[in-house]
A = this chain, B = another copy of it.
Amino acid sequence: MSVDVATPARTAPEILSWSRDLVEPELRSATARLSESVKPPTYHHFGWTDGGGSGKVLRPAMALLSAEAVGSAPEPALPAAVTVELVHNFSLLHDDVVDGDATRRHRATVWKVFGVGTAILAGDALLALAAELLAERPAQLRILMIAVADLIEGQCADLRFEDRDDVDVAECRDMAKGKTAALLGASCAMGAVAGGGGREQIRQLRSFGEEIGLAFQFVDDLLGIWGEQAVTGKPVYSDLRNRKKSLPVVAALRSGTREGRQLAQLYGKPDDLTSPELARAAELVEGAGGRRWAQEQADQLLEKALSRLHAAVPRPRAEAELTALARLVARRDR
């Protein structure tokens, strides 16, 4: 891959830091428009009340680099960057209520601190703000709102899976496409639209984002079992504790192995799982091949994503940097 000699490509941490510096002031000025009651829960959620910064701002970085990939400066993609981040956080606020998660980014979740009603309303406010900010950008608005619909469908499927014992890997992948791939695909597509990219470039960059999003979900599911609390900000084994039908778990349950059957028994227990049972469940997912399979899937999705990216005929430096981000996303467990 050839990289512009004059301005060498940056590393993923450098890109994320650059993206945060560009996006955070815009995000702060956008959220300053929120009504007074909605600000405290939103600022808490973004980590602004205890002096911390917002999260990784991965989606904004994808939007900004996608604009660069089609030959534009990053600035025209700032509205895209801000609104994908608003929508991402709208969905986190509501997901935490829906899933009953009490911790996020090492902090108590908004519903836990401010109550369920306020968390729902704060999420609503972020979604409405994102739509308002895109009023003059119909193509981007449409891409984003369709991604929201996909995201919701993924979350609904996730909810239904909790009550089912027969979820298969394909359904689980479809669900992940909605929950994670749609918004990352939209981030890239909106950036490419904002940068004036051609139809085929937009299509390939969207596809790149979707594949990376799916890889992200595989890695997220691995972290949901084996991630260190210091990294994830969640308790260890948190997905097993909630008996989540995550990708490695479903692969293990459907593996036809002895470990898979033992895992099914543990998941079927009416009581909360004890600490030794949680550790045992993690061993069983691994023994049934769920862990290795998920890692392989993430690797394959990364390769597929990079070939989509290349097919968009991107500017070399932007390609190198999107590749660096993609590798970070698909390999953050290792």
**Chain A residues close to B by CB (< 8 Å):** 33-38, 90, 94, 97-99, 115-118, 120-121, 123-125, 127-129, 131-132, 135-136, 138-139, 141-142, 145-146, 148-150, 152-153, 155-157, 159-160
Q: How far is the CA of A99 from the CA of B97 in the complex (A)?
A: 15
Judging by beta carbons under 8 Å apart, are B129 and A145 in contact? Answer: yes
* Least CB distance, A174 to chain B, in whole angstroms: 11
Q: Which residues of B contact A129 (CB under 8 A)?
A: 145, 149
Judging by beta carbons under 8 Å apart, are A155 and B35 in contact? Answer: no
Given contacts A127-B128, A131-B145, A146-B132, whether A37 and B156 have CB atoms under 8 Å apart is: yes
**21 residue pairs bridging A and B, Cβ less than 8 Å apart:** A35-B149, A35-B150, A35-B156, A37-B157, A38-B149, A94-B121, A94-B124, A98-B117, A98-B121, A115-B159, A118-B156, A120-B120, A124-B148, A125-B152, A127-B131, A128-B152, A131-B145, A135-B142, A135-B145, A136-B138, A138-B138
Q: Which residue in chain B gives the minimum CB-CB distance to A124?
A: B152
Q: Which residues of B contact A36 (CB under 8 A)?
A: 153
Judging by beta carbons under 8 Å apart, are A135 and B128 in contact? Answer: no
Q: How far is the CA of A33 from the CA of B153 in the complex (A)?
A: 12
In the A-B complex, the 9 residue pairs with the closest CB atoms: A37-B156, A131-B131, A35-B153, A132-B145, A98-B117, A128-B148, A135-B138, A128-B145, A135-B142
Q: Which residues of B contact A145 (CB under 8 A)?
A: 128-129, 131-132, 135
Within the complex, which residue of B121, B132, B141, B153 is in contact with A132, where a contact is CB–CB below 8 Å?
B141
Q: How far is the CA of A40 from the CA of B132 in the complex (A)?
A: 28
Q: Which residue in chain B gives the minimum CB-CB distance to A158?
A: B117
Number of copies: 2
Q: Which residues of B contact A153 (CB under 8 A)?
A: 35-38
Given contacts A37-B157, A38-B152, A118-B156, 13 further A-B contacts (CB under 8 A): A35-B152, A37-B156, A94-B120, A99-B117, A117-B155, A123-B124, A124-B127, A124-B148, A124-B152, A125-B149, A125-B152, A135-B142, A141-B141
Q: Which residues of B contact A99 (CB under 8 A)?
A: 117
Q: Which residues of B contact A131 (CB under 8 A)?
A: 127-128, 131, 141, 145
Q: How far is the CA of A156 from the CA of B138 in the complex (A)?
A: 30
Q: How far is the CA of A98 from the CA of B124 in the complex (A)?
A: 12
Q: How far is the CA of A97 from the CA of B139 in the complex (A)?
A: 33
Within the complex, which residue of B125, B146, B152 is in contact with A121, where a contact is CB–CB below 8 Å?
B152
* Least CB distance, A39 to chain B, in whole angstroms: 10
Q: How far is the CA of A118 from the CA of B55 in the complex (A)?
A: 27
Q: Which residues of B contact A117 (CB under 8 A)?
A: 97-99, 155, 159
Q: How far is the CA of A148 from the CA of B34 in the complex (A)?
A: 11
Q: Which residues of B contact A128 (CB under 8 A)?
A: 127, 131, 145, 148-149, 152
Judging by beta carbons under 8 Å apart, are A98 and B125 in contact? Answer: no
Q: Which residue in chain B gives the minimum CB-CB distance to A99?
A: B117
Q: Which residue in chain B gives the minimum CB-CB distance to A142?
A: B135
**Centre residue among A115, A127, A131 by max chain B CB count within 10 A:** A131
